């Protein structure tokens, strides 16, 4: 396929269609608006369904319904709207339903602003809603990855019967880059025999979709079975490191910069500038935020002498890096919050301060 110039939000929307997603339920909010606008136009052209819901709460519950009926389905929003979806995400995780939830992050807390931000990391990776559960969290860093990760996200969601959260931000959603659209996947709604409304001849009992387990033993058993599944997901990404993480010039690095999403693009420039100045810098970029690539970072901590985590927040992922490093080496942090994007110059200054303290 030829390269096309697209906005990140639109590339994600087109990729969803290529992944076999025919159902979108959402509610307007900036800076994700191009995504529903794109799908409102495109889905009817492919016999799909686009519904503008009355709220984010309703939208995620429509997703819950469609997923329970076997659909490849998605919703999207930006930070305040994702907060509203948390109830539904907890139900979807509890009922073990596959779907894609896109968060084009903006500044918070509260109404915050519409500038790009990474301050929903804790919400995304710690559950967000109530109860013992995990969502698989992916973090693209380019328009190309907005498309590629979307196809992967639907595959993971179905494979693990788990919601997948795409953690994007206002920059990735809005910026334009050339992208090669991935090849389309076929999807058959009747491939899910557990789905409500499945009418195949091999159906022997009625299908039920629920997250209520009234007995204490019943719920504990259910939660441990979820835990086992989360272990399977963790092991999958441990075994497929290239899907979980990107390493750049880490082999001989003394200082390793850690960042995800749009920040990782800036960090790559910083690493290159460091190398020109004779500073042995490297970059680790988690592509998957949960499960967090702790093992890889832990191994790097045996070689490198320092870590610098950079985020568009006042420090959230840095906690996971510290847990992975386990005190073996110092972990520094630099962040901008409130919708500010740090420049390579600012980060370079931080690196200088760390490696040349005098």
Cα(29)–Cα(27) distance, rounded to whole angstroms? Answer: 7
State the nearest-atom distance from the C-beta of 108 to other proteins, in Å.
23
183 vs 210 by CB, closer to other proteins? 210
Q: Is position 131 an interface residue for other proteins (rule: CB under 8 A)?
A: no
Q: Is position 69 an interface residue for other proteins (rule: CB under 8 A)?
A: yes
Contacts of 74 (CB under 8 A, 6+ apart): 16, 21, 23, 24, 63, 99, 100, 101, 102
Interface residue with other proteins, options 201, 206, 276, 356 (CB under 8 A): 206
Interface residue with other proteins, options 12, 29, 59, 166 (CB under 8 A): 59
Q: Is position 40 an interface residue for other proteins (rule: CB under 8 A)?
A: no
Number of shown-chain residues binding other proteins (CB under 8 A): 38
Q: Is position 38 an interface residue for other proteins (rule: CB under 8 A)?
A: no
Q: Is position 247 an interface residue for other proteins (rule: CB under 8 A)?
A: no
Choose one: 48-56, 249-257, 302-310, 328-336; the region binding other proteins (CB under 8 A). 48-56
Q: Is position 61 an interface residue for other proteins (rule: CB under 8 A)?
A: yes
State the nearest-atom distance from the C-beta of 201 to other proteins, in Å.
12
State the nearest-atom distance from the C-beta of 255 to other proteins, in Å.
47
100 vs 288 by CB, closer to other proteins? 100
**Residue 281 near residue 257, CB atoms below 8 Å:** yes
Q: Is position 201 an interface residue for other proteins (rule: CB under 8 A)?
A: no
Interface residue with other proteins, options 11, 31, 35, 64 (CB under 8 A): 64
Quick note: the x/- pattern for other proteins over 7-26, rule CB under 8 A, is ----------------x-x-
Contacts of 10 (CB under 8 A, 6+ apart): 34, 35, 38
Q: Is position 53 an interface residue for other proteins (rule: CB under 8 A)?
A: yes
Q: Is position 84 an interface residue for other proteins (rule: CB under 8 A)?
A: no
Element housing 154 (H / E): helix 143-160
Q: Is position 58 an interface residue for other proteins (rule: CB under 8 A)?
A: yes
- Bridge partners (DSSP) listed for residue 101: 75, 165
Choose one: 158-166, 174-182, 199-207, 274-282; the region binding other proteins (CB under 8 A). 199-207
State the nearest-atom distance from the C-beta of 206 to other proteins, in Å.
5
Q: Is position 62 an interface residue for other proteins (rule: CB under 8 A)?
A: yes
Which own/partner pairs from 130-133 qualify as long-range (CB within 8 Å, at least 24 positions apart)?
A: 130/86, 130/87, 130/90, 131/90, 131/93, 131/94, 132/223, 132/226, 132/227, 133/90, 133/93, 133/94, 133/226
Q: What is the DSSP letter of 178?
A: E
- Bridge partners (DSSP) listed for residue 23: 49, 73
Q: What is the DSSP letter of 116?
A: B
For the segment 291-330, give every residue that binds other proteins (CB under 8 A). Answer: none
Q: Which residue has the tokens 């005098």?
A: 358
Report the b/e string of 299-326 with b at 16+ CB within 10 A: ebbeebebbbbbbbbebbbbbbbbebbe
Choose one: 88-96, 105-113, 246-254, 300-308; the region binding other proteins (CB under 8 A). 88-96
Interface residue with other proteins, options 18, 71, 331, 355 (CB under 8 A): 71
Q: Which among 340, 313, 339, 321 is positioned nearest to 119, based on CA atoms? A: 313
- Bridge partners (DSSP) listed for residue 4: 179
Whole-angstrom CA distances from 165 to 40, 105, 134, 172 are: 21, 12, 10, 15
71: region left, alpha or beta (phi > 0 left; psi from -120 to 50 alpha): beta
Residues that bind other proteins (CB under 8 A): 23, 25, 49, 51, 53-55, 57-59, 61-71, 73, 87-88, 91, 95, 189, 196-199, 206-212
């Amino acid at each position: 396929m030829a390269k096309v110039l697209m906005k990140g939000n639109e590339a994600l929307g087109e990729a969803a269609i290529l992944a076999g997603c025919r159902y979108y339920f959402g509610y307007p909010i900036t800076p994700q608006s191009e995504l529903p606008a794109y799908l409102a136009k495109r889905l009817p052209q492919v016999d799909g369904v686009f519904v503008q819901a009355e709220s984010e709460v309703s939208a995620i519950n429509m997703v819950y319904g469609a997923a329970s009926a076997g659909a490849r389905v998605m919703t999207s929003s930006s930070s305040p709207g994702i907060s509203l979806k948390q109830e539904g995400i907890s139900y979807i995780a509890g009922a073990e339903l596959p779907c894609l939830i896109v968060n084009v992050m903006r500044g918070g807390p509260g109404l915050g602003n519409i500038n790009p931000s990474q301050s929903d990391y804790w919400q995304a990776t710690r559950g967000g809603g109530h109860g013992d559960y995990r969502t698989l969290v992916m973090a693209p860093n380019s328009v190309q990855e907005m498309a590629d990760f979307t196809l992967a996200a639907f595959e993971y969601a179905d494979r693990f019967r788990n919601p997948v959260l795409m953690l994007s931000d206002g920059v990735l959603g809005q910026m334009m880059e050339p992208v090669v659209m991935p090849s389309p996947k076929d999807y058959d709604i009747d491939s899910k025999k557990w789905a409500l409304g499945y009418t195949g001849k091999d159906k022997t009992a009625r299908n039920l979709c629920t997250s209520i387990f009234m007995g204490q033993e019943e719920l504990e058993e259910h939660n441990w079975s979820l835990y086992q599944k989360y272990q399977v997901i963790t092991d999958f990404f441990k075994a497929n490191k290239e899907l979980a993480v990107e390493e750049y010039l880490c082999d001989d690095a003394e200082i390793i910069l850690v960042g995800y999403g749009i920040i990782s693009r800036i960090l790559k420039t910083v690493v290159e500038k460091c190398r020109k100045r004779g500073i042995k810098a490297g970059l680790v970029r988690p592509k998957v935020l949960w499960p967090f690539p702790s093992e890889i970072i832990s191994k790097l901590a045996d070689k490198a002498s320092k870590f610098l985590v950079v985020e568009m927040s006042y420090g959230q992922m840095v906690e996971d890096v510290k847990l992975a490093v386990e005190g073996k080496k110092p972990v520094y942090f630099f962040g901008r919050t409130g919708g500010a994007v740090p420049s390579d110059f600012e980060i370079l200054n931080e690196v200088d301060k760390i490696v040349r303290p005098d």
